[in-house]
């Protein structure tokens, strides 16, 4: 075990002593697989900072919505191995993201009336964002529509937490005038909820057996129906207004990638952490099997692009390429986000910048341009924002009293 892995083990072990205990009724596979995947990806994220190597006693923690706080080294950078040409030790300080991409970035107050913290979840439309508020530890109590132009906040619905809930409301997503999310209860049941964006009571529209993993690996609102897949495998649809839950043709054991694409392996699959190397379009029947090569760890694929890393003994480089194995290029940082490249194009990572220390950047693999997200060292760590789980076009994070909202679809 490396020093970084040992530091992560100690930190996660200590944090677990203060975390709520998972009830015995939840499947062991969900807990073990989730922690295994998360620890490996967290280690990769920490390694993305060029000088974060062999950090004895460092700390790191995964935060809600995929944010990562990466430990900074107490040793001199001169002790680090020489960087490769593709992975520079120190970057020229990039332009601020709001100057580089003014059409894509909005800066708004991070708190609503009464000082309530707003937590971005997804875009409802071009100028309206779905946000949540918390009623307790990671427990959402209400959904709101936040107008980014007028900064008005409109309540959509209260979010129920039924008795026996062990996974609070998660993966909020919006589409077709509706919002959807899921919860899980200690009896291994997964509950899918929805509410109209215009406002109204939240309704449970599906109640399914979670199988070997009590949770959803994917959720989308498409053409009047809710599409979801289970951690344990299986892709299903249910009418958005409620009705019969049906398994998608060919969806057994599969996971939702991006409708109408489904595939495997999923997030909790055994192996080296690779995901969606095999996919199928359920509307057209088209299939794709991604090229894989020996020594690759955690290849995370989309519908067109895969990103992954070489095992440490092979140099530890990160890369991306097309699914057919062509046009492979090395990424300029080591490590990947937990879900790979956002929109199969963007990487968020910590780097060392000239005159600024450790910063977080938004890196565009199509243009090779990096933008400074404005995050800086704070008490020995750098927070790396995460793309919204329910909407991969949304990158939102707080600095001071401001909420930075980035629409990745508006970057040319």
Q: Residue ranges of the chain with pLDDT lower than 70?
A: 1-88, 136, 211-213, 311-315, 379-380
What is residue 312's predicted lDDT score, i.e. its pLDDT? 58
What is residue 378's predicted lDDT score, i.e. its pLDDT? 72
Structural domains in the chain, CATH included, are: 116-259 (2.130.10.120)
Q: What is the pTM of this model?
A: 0.79
Contact 256, 389 (CB under 8 A): no
What is residue 113's predicted lDDT score, i.e. its pLDDT? 81
Radius of gyration for the alpha carbons in the chain, expressed in angstroms and rounded: 21
Cis check for the bond before 260: say yes or no (omega within 30 of 0): yes
Torsion from C-alpha of 338, 343, 345, 351, nearest 10 degrees: -40
Q: Alpha-carbon distance 148 to 106, whole Å?
A: 8
Torsion from C-alpha of 73, 55, 20, 182, nearest 10 degrees: 70
Q: Alpha-carbon distance 285 to 151, whole Å?
A: 44
By CB atoms closer than 10 A (0-12, 13-18, 19+), residue 134 is: middle
What is residue 12's predicted lDDT score, i.e. its pLDDT? 37
**Which pLDDT tens digit goes with each residue over 80-124?**
333 344 555 789 999 999 999 999 999 999 998 888 899 999 999
By CB atoms closer than 10 A (0-12, 13-18, 19+), residue 20 is: exposed
C-alpha dist (Å) from residue 260 to 13, 109, 201, 222, 264: 39, 36, 29, 9, 14
What is residue 139's predicted lDDT score, i.e. its pLDDT? 86
Q: Alpha-carbon distance 171 to 182, whole Å?
A: 7
Q: Alpha-carbon distance 390 to 71, whole Å?
A: 27
């Amino acid at each position: 075990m490396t020093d970084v892995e040992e530091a992560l083990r100690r930190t996660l072990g200590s944090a677990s002593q203060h975390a709520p205990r998972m009830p015995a009724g939840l499947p062991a596979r969900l807990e073990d697989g989730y922690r295994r995947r998360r620890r490996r990806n967290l280690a990769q994220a920490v390694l993305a900072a060029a000088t974060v190597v062999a950090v004895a006693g460092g700390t790191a923690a995964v935060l809600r919505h995929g944010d990562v706080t990466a430990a900074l080294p107490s040793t001199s950078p001169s002790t680090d191995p020489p960087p490769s040409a593709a992975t520079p030790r120190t970057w020229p300080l990039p332009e601020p993201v709001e100057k580089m991409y003014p059409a894509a970035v909005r800066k708004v107050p991070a708190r609503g009336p009464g000082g309530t913290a707003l937590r971005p979840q997804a875009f409802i439309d071009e100028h309206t964002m779905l946000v949540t508020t918390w009623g307790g530890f990671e427990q959402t109590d209400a959904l709101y529509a936040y107008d980014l132009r007028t900064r008005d906040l409109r309540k959509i619905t209260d979010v129920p937490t039924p008795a026996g809930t062990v996974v609070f409301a998660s993966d909020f997503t919006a589409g077709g005038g509706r919002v959807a999310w899921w919860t899980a209860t200690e009896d291994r049941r997964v509950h899918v909820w929805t509410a109209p964006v215009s406002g109204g009571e939240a309704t449970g529209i599906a109640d399914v057996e979670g199988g070997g993993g009590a949770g959803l690996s994917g959720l989308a609102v498409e053409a009047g129906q809710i599409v979801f897949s289970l951690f344990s495998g299986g892709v299903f649809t249910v009418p958005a207004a409620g009705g019969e839950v049906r398994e998608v043709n060919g969806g057994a054991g599969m996971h939702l990638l991006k409708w109408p694409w489904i595939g495997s392996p999923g997030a909790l699959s055994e192996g080296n952490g690779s995901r969606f190397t095999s996919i199928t379009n359920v509307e057209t029947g088209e299939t794709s099997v991604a090229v894989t090569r020996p020594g690759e760890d955690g290849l995370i694929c989309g519908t067109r692009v895969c990103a992954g890393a070489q095992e440490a003994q092979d140099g530890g480089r990160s890369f991306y390429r097309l699914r057919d194995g062509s046009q492979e290029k090395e990424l300029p940082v080591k490590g990947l986000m937990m879900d790979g490249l956002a929109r199969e194009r963007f990487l968020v990572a910590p780097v060392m910048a000239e005159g600024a220390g450790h910063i977080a950047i938004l890196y565009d693999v199509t243009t090779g341009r990096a933008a400074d997200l404005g995050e800086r060292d704070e008490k020995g760590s750098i927070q790396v924002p995460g793309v919204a789980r329910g909407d991969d076009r949304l990158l939102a994070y707080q600095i001071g009293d401001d909420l930075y909202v980035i629409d990745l679809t508006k970057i040319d």
